[in-house]
Amino acid sequence: MPDSSTLASLNAIAHSIISYSALVIVGLIGAGLIYLAVLYYRDVTQTQHAIRRNYPLIGRFRYFFEHLGEFFRQYFFAMDREELPFNRSQRSWVYRAAKNIDNTVAFGSTRPLNHSNEVLFMNCLFPTLSEDAAPTHSVTIGEGYCREPFSSAAIFNISGMSYGAISKPAVQALAAGAREAGIWMNTGEGGLTPYHLEAGCDIVCQIGTAKYGVRDAQGKLSDQRLADLASHPQVRMFELKLSQGAKPGKGGILPGGKVTEEVATIRGIPVGQDSISPNGHPDIRSIDDLLDTLARIRRVTGKPVGFKMVLGFSEWLDELGEAIHRRGLEFAPDFITVDSADGGTGAAPQSLIDYVGLPLRRSLPLVVDKLNEYRLRERVKVIASG
């Protein structure tokens, strides 16, 4: 048993700890009250948020719950087929397929099957047996009009996503997948990188309004850089981007902080400086300008050349058909990529995403019908992007 002096010392230490803890708790409560008082004063004096001014302190929970609402809808309340652009069923299928997990499902479809204007694949009564299946019909682009036409039997390919908008591992993974699937990959307007080439897949080089990857020091189209890109045997075609699905008629800015030495070298821009993509090509202001530019790229590269656009007004399609017949089929684009207004992007104003341009189901038939009307359907191939 400890003696009385030891017990007295222990009691004194215990009382000291309790007193100190009480002081700390009182201090924390006091600091908390002061902090709340400061927040209250800020809320009732600020003029930017009506909710915080009318309901100081309590009104702040609105923004917190609004932020959490996205996650509650995704994980607890949203049905499997409710969300856009990709619903829970589609995301789950992709996750399982990416992890090599069985992606088959049981029971019936949860997708509504009786809506109008739905796309369905029609089965036949006596399906083709595996041993009798013929390979997919190959399509040749640019045959007879360029030195190196491109033939492909691929039906689905990888649309444009720029390096910088997506990361190095993403580009490498997509390129490797394209190689394995035997399809082509579009670089996006950010330019061709070594990561696109290393897997050995077919590449379509996209040329945006800033001419990244094919520009000279003044930002104009460079024949030398075009020839350098065309020297890669994997580069099969060039696509001149006039407009993009989710933001037709809208340019962009690459902040200087993202312009590293690597990005600057790939895109041909100064390191560390903001880079502006105009909302249109400054050197292409008419149908004749467009056809001249396509012919120039085809002449320098020897590869098929086309353009990508989102259809809005369609009257220019008549002007295009008339100009091609007036100037000759050698001036026609080898392909036209019709981009859908419901396409995606890294960032765009909500008003453009929601209200500008035609979706693919309306624009694709218009383009194909016009090409048939001007007897250009065999000369000009059509690529649909959505």
Q: Dihedral angle at the C-alpha atoms of 228, 233, 234, 240, nearest 10 degrees?
A: 50
What does the pLDDT profile of the chain (386 residues) look like in tens digits?
556 666 667 677 767 777 777 777 888 888 889 999 998 999 899 988 888 889 898 888 888 888 887 777 777 777 777 777 788 888 888 888 888 888 888 888 888 788 787 778 889 899 889 888 888 889 999 999 999 999 999 999 999 999 988 899 999 999 999 999 999 999 999 999 999 999 999 999 999 999 999 999 888 999 999 999 999 999 999 999 999 887 887 878 888 888 889 998 999 999 988 888 888 999 999 999 999 999 999 999 999 999 999 999 899 999 999 999 999 999 999 999 999 888 777 777 788 888 888 999 899 999 999 999 999 999 999 999 87
Distance CA(303)–CA(205), nearest Å, equals: 11
Cβ-contact 175, 201 below 8 angstroms: yes
Q: What is the pLDDT of residue 234?
A: 97
Q: What is the pLDDT of residue 82?
A: 74
Residue whose C-alpha is closest to residue 333's, from 145, 158, 165? 145
The residues, ordered by sequence, that sit 6+ positions from 189 with a Cβ below 8 Å of its Cβ are 160, 162, 206, 207, 208, 209, 210, 212, 241, 277
Q: What is the pLDDT of residue 93?
A: 87
Q: Say what the pTM is.
A: 0.79
Residue 331 phi/psi, 5-degree rounding, is -95, -5
Q: What is the pLDDT of residue 10?
A: 63
* Other CB atoms within 10 Å distance of the CB of residue 112: 8
CA distances from residue 263 to 161, 199, 377 in whole angstroms, order as listed: 15, 20, 38
Domain 138-385: assigned CATH number:
3.20.20.70
- The percent helix, strand, coil of the chain (3-state, each to 5) is 45, 15, 45
Cβ-contact 230, 303 below 8 angstroms: yes
Q: What is the pLDDT of residue 7?
A: 62
